[in-house]
Each structure stands twice: as structure tokens, then as C-alpha cells.
Amino acid sequence: MNIFSRIITGALLASTALASPALAIHPHIERQNPSKEAVDRLIRRSESVGVAFFNENSGPGAAEACSDGAFGMTNTSRQVLLCLEKHGDNWIELTDTIRHELVHIAQGCKGDGKRLVPLVEGRKQEYLNYADGYLGWGITQNYKPGLWEIEGEAFTLAHILNSEEIGDLVVVYCGS
């Protein structure tokens, strides 16, 4: 997408999902339970801009990467590793992980494939208040301070945006 589209999407994101000072005016208190079709569409849209999905059985190193506490992870090469065995048959947890990791993919695309950059910068405290305090993800206990804003944003957006909206972020930031 061109720079104009990115600016418009950034403005929309800032004005809708993140407009309230506490990020809690329109919270989705219950975790999302998207349909299989919605998640399939999200995966297909992500793959259309070069995102590749893997699991712990995908080859050397994948199982080892899933052996720590993570349920999924990404890199700046648009690769998503989903630790499926940890999710078991918990669909809600798996889809939450997919949305979370795809926010990281969009952050990596915004960082030109070199680093993760917050999609809406300067919101670290709001992200922490919402993700750590409201959702109880323990970001300040489980991540180094340099990752708080990136992780807080990923946990927050995965919670408040649906699969279609996450797909929009990936396409806007990672599209050509």
C-alpha cells in the first residue's frame, strides 16, 4: 500500500481502537471466538502479502523454539511459528495467538523488516495498563522493558480487534 493508505489506517486505528485514555470504553471483555472461516480468511490474507505459517513439526529448530513458554513467535522475515501442541484443542487461545503474532508481523513490516516498531507509537503506558492490568498478561514480569510497548500493543490489539481488522493491519503494513 502507498503511504497515504498507511497514514489513513494509522489514523483510523488511533481514533477507534485507541482513542480512549484508558483503552476501556469499548472493551471486548470476553475473549473472541471467531469462526473457522474468519481465521482461514485472516491466514489467506496474511499469506497473500508473504507471511508464512509453521508449527512445531515444521522442521529442525521449530520444536526447540516451542519448548519454552511461548505459544507462538514471529521474526522479521514474516514467519509465524504456532506452537499447536500447547494450545491443544483450545480454539480461542489459538486464534488469540494468531492475531497476536500477526500484530508482530505488521510491526515488523512497519520496521522495514529490520525491527519491530509499534503501529501507534507513544502508547506504551496505555498498552501496559490494558494488557498487563486489565487483561492480566503480566508483561512487566515476563518481558524485558525494551519489549513492553511492542508486546503490550500486540496483546492489546489482539484482544480489541477482530480477525478482519488484524488482517487489514497486515495487508496495509506488509502489502506492496
What span, in angstroms and rounded, lies between the C-alpha atoms of 114 and 131?
A: 25
59-74: pLDDT as tens digits: 888 999 998 878 999 9
The answer to whether 129 and 83 are in contact (CB under 8 A) is: no
- Gyration radius from the chain CA atoms: 15
Residues written for the chain: 176
- Mean pLDDT of the region 42-56: 96
What integer is the mean pLDDT of 78-89?
94
Q: What is the DSSP letter of 133?
A: I
Is there a contact between 123 and 111 (Cβ–Cβ < 8 Å)? no
Q: Which three cell numbers stand for residue 115?
A: 525491527
In whole angstroms, give the CA distance from residue 102 to residue 117: 13
Cell reading at 122: 507513544
The pTM score is 0.83
Mean pLDDT over 18-26 rounds to 34
Instruction: Tell me the average pLDDT across 42-47.
Output: 97
pLDDT band at 49 (very low <50, low <70, confident <90, very high): very high
| pLDDT over 70, % of the chain | 82
| Distance (Å) of CA 110 to CA 10, 121, 166 | 11, 11, 14
What pLDDT does residue 135 have?
A: 85
Structure confidence by residue, pLDDT tens digits, 109-150: 999 999 999 999 899 999 999 888 888 888 889 899 999 999
Residue for cell digits 494468531? 98
Domain layout of the chain by residue ranges: 3-174
